[in-house]
């Protein structure tokens, strides 16, 4: 028959007490997921991805892109994981370096994200410390009403970033905090 050793019993109790103290004093770890947009080997911007959002990258086709745009850029898209009614996207096309060129670029795209768009007047603001022209508007998608915001962000050097937020009626309000945090986290690189 084995008899407990007084030393090993004391070490076991000390280990148990240490584990309990560590467990009680532990603070839940927080992790931030950052996404960055890179083109031509150069990082353009980064942003923080909200919890439970999905990030995708892909392209879209331009019907008649402005002549100075040499290739179709990648789109950084984000949306809530369980809700497809809201979508946020960013693109930084090569050759688009002014607000006027960004406006022409947007008009040239066949995005199919919003049908029958009605735009409000432009507003000036800042995103990530950069001068930004925004437009808000309404339209429809698949027969359902949507609202949208377009942001034309003037980046350092000859480059623009175009941001787009589209949400079905009522859905954008559900994700207002996440969308605002995402936009506030935008950082030029």
Q: What is the pLDDT of residue 172?
A: 87
CA dist., res. 50 & res. 77, Å (int): 13
| Angle in degrees, CA 187, 137, 91, rounded to 5 | 35
- pLDDT, one tens digit per residue, over 17-38 is 333 333 334 334 446 789 999 9
DSSP state for residue 135 in the 8-state scheme: E
Q: What is the pLDDT of residue 21?
A: 35
| Both tokens assigned to 168 | 């079905």
CA dist., res. 162 & res. 175, Å (int): 20
- pLDDT, one tens digit per residue, over 74-125 is 899 999 999 999 999 999 998 899 999 999 988 887 556 788 889 999 999 9
CA dist., res. 155 & res. 161, Å (int): 7
Q: What is the pLDDT of residue 101?
A: 95
Domains and CATH numbers, the chain: 33-188 (3.40.1000.10)
Alpha helical stretches, state H, the chain:
6-25, 99-108, 171-174, 176-184
Please count the residues of the chain: 189
Q: What is the pLDDT of residue 31?
A: 60
> Is the distance from CB of 30 to CB of 44 less than 8 angstroms?
no
Q: What is the pLDDT of residue 111?
A: 58
CA dist., res. 31 & res. 179, Å (int): 18
- Banded model confidence at residue 45, pLDDT cuts 50, 70, 90: very high
CA dist., res. 5 & res. 123, Å (int): 77
């Amino acid at each position: 028959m084995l008899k407990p050793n007084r030393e090993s019993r004391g070490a076991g109790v000390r280990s148990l007490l240490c584990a309990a103290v560590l467990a009680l004093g532990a603070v839940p770890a927080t992790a931030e997921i950052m996404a960055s947009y890179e083109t031509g080997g150069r990082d353009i911007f980064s942003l923080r991805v909200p919890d439970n959002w999905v990030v995708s990258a892909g392209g879209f086709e331009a019907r008649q892109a402005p002549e100075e745009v040499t290739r179709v850029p990648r789109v950084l898209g984000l949306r809530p994981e369980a809700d497809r009614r809201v979508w946020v996207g960013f693109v930084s096309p090569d050759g688009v370096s002014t607000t006027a060129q960004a406006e022409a670029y947007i008009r040239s795209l066949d995005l199919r994200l919003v049908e029958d768009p009605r735009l409000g007047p432009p507003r000036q603001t800042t995103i990530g410390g950069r001068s930004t022209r925004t437009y808000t508007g309404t339209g429809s998608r698949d027969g359902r009403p949507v609202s949208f915001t377009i942001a034309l962000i003037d980046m350092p050097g000859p480059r623009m970033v175009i941001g787009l937020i589209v949400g079905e009626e009522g859905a954008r309000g559900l994700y207002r905090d996440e969308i605002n945090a995402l936009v506030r986290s935008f950082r030029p690189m």
